[in-house]
Amino acid sequence: MNMITLTPLDLALAAILILLLAGLSWRLRLGLERSLLINASRTVVQLLLVGLVLKAVFANADLMWVGLMALVMLAAAGYEVMARQKRRLKGWWGYGLGTGAMFVSSFSVTLLALLVIIGNQPWYEPQYAIPLLGMMLGNTMSGVALALDRLTQTAWQQRAVIEQRLMLGQTRSEAIDEIRRDAARSGLMHIINAMAAAGIVSLPGMMTGQILAGAPPMEAVKYQILIMFLIAAGTGFGVTTALWLASRRLFDERHRLRLDVLSAPKG
């Protein structure tokens, strides 16, 4: 493959765009400049570190190391899901619910892809397993975080409506069903939009990366179709699982609404 190597100067030129954007944010009083600069710095540090880790893992393709890295990725994704919610569940539930939902969905779909669809040997080859799981977790994380945030926020805002439905004889599932459906739509909207725009409005990231690395365009297209379908399935299963668990947590065994399980809003 004819791959052009980027120099530190090339990356520095791209970083200037972030500095200009931060300056624009400051000039317009958006208040985003600090977040832009901090998260841009985090991107550089985190990607450089993961590059070194992947180099070592690729050189020693051992199931133990691949599994350890997968668990670290899952733990970090679980934290991000919790951090992105304005009014999250208190205690262990705030972290464990989203993490568990992503584990069930992302890991199962990734294993299916590695064992049945791609069929590489060994199946845990880090060249395939780590990038695939990373894409699954990244997209499922966004979907689960958006869905849970929508569910808890709406449940708090419409608590009087939910309680009236309960008094009229509805079960806890019926009382929150409409809110749960809206939250599921919110969590799935980004991947649905991505599939609708793929190839027309934008070229998805994996396909673009493969083409830039010199892969044949049709091979890149086939891999991107596979990834889009896997991400959609993983996000859907993760969002559904997280919402089902969270909506049950909002009620007790006697079908009474329990908003005391929610933390105070951030900010």
Q: Kindly indicate the confidence band of residue 26, based on its pLDDT and cuts at 50, 70 and 90.
A: very high
Of 59, 85, 103, the one marking the end of a domain is 59
Residue type, 22: A
Instruction: Examine the domain organization and report whether 179 and 67 are in the same domain.
Output: yes
Instruction: Examine the domain organization and report whether 84 and 38 are in the same domain.
Output: no
- Looking at the structure of the chain, the number of domains it has is 2
State yes or no: pLDDT of 222 exceeds 80: yes
Q: Is residue 247 part of a domain?
A: yes
Pairwise CA distance, residues 46 & 62, whole Å: 23
Domain of residue 69 covers 61-261
Instruction: Examine the domain organization and report whether 24 and 72 are in the same domain.
Output: no
What's the whole-model pTM score?
0.80
- Identify which has the larger pLDDT, 94 or 243: 243
Q: Is residue 267 part of a domain?
A: no
Instruction: Examine the domain organization and report whether 108 and 141 are in the same domain.
Output: yes
Q: Kindly indicate the confidence band of residue 22, based on its pLDDT and cuts at 50, 70 and 90.
A: very high
State yes or no: pLDDT of 38 exceeds 90: yes
Instruction: Examine the domain organization and report whether 95 and 128 are in the same domain.
Output: yes
Contact at 8 Å (CB) between 255 and 242? Answer: no
Instruction: Examine the domain organization and report whether 74 and 93 are in the same domain.
Output: yes
Q: Is residue 48 part of a domain?
A: yes
Instruction: Examine the domain organization and report whether 53 and 109 are in the same domain.
Output: no
Instruction: Examine the domain organization and report whether 19 and 74 are in the same domain.
Output: no
Tokens of 174: 């019926």
pLDDT for res 266: 66
Sign of the CA dihedral running 77, 83, 85, 91: positive
Pairwise CA distance, residues 70 & 211, whole Å: 26
Of 59, 87, 104, the one marking the end of a domain is 59
Contact at 8 Å (CB) between 172 and 166? Answer: yes
Query: Of 32-36, 71-75, 187-191, 250-254, which range is least confident?
Result: 250-254
If we measure between CA atoms, which residue out of 197, 235, 205 comes closest to residue 223? 205
| Radius of gyration, CA atoms only, the chain | 21
What mean pLDDT value characterizes the chain? 87
Contact at 8 Å (CB) between 9 and 219? Answer: no
Distances in Å between the Cα of 229 and the Cα atoms of 80, 194, 225, 243 are: 23, 11, 6, 21
- For the stretch 117-152, pLDDT in tens is 888 888 888 888 888 898 899 889 999 999 999 999
Q: Is residue 80 part of a domain?
A: yes
Pairwise CA distance, residues 124 & 111, whole Å: 9
Of 59, 84, 105, the one marking the end of a domain is 59
Pairwise CA distance, residues 41 & 43, whole Å: 5
Instruction: Examine the domain organization and report whether 13 and 102 are in the same domain.
Output: no
- Identify which has the larger pLDDT, 131 or 215: 131
Q: Is residue 266 part of a domain?
A: no
Query: Of 65-69, 85-89, 139-143, which range is least confident?
Result: 85-89
Contact at 8 Å (CB) between 215 and 1? Answer: yes
Instruction: Examine the domain organization and report whether 186 and 114 are in the same domain.
Output: yes
Instruction: Examine the domain organization and report whether 207 and 160 are in the same domain.
Output: yes
pLDDT for res 150: 93
- According to the 3-state scheme, what is the secondary structure of the chain? CCCCCCCHHHHHHHHHHHHHHHHHHHHHCCCCHHHHHHHHHHHHHHHHHHHHHHHHHHHCCCHHHHHHHHHHHHHHHHHHHHHCCCCCECCHHHHHHHHHHHHHHHHHHHHHHHHHHHCCCCCCCHHHHHHHHHHHHHHHHHHHHHHHHHHHHHHHHCHHHHHHHHHCCCCHHHHHHHHHHHHHHHHHHHHHHHHHHECCCECCHHHHHHHHCCCCHHHHHHHHHHHHHHHHHHHHHHHHHHHHHHHHHCECCCCCECHHHECCCCC
Query: Of 60-64, 104-108, 142-146, 168-172, which range is least confident?
Result: 60-64
For residue 5, count other CB atoms closer than 10 A to its CB.
5
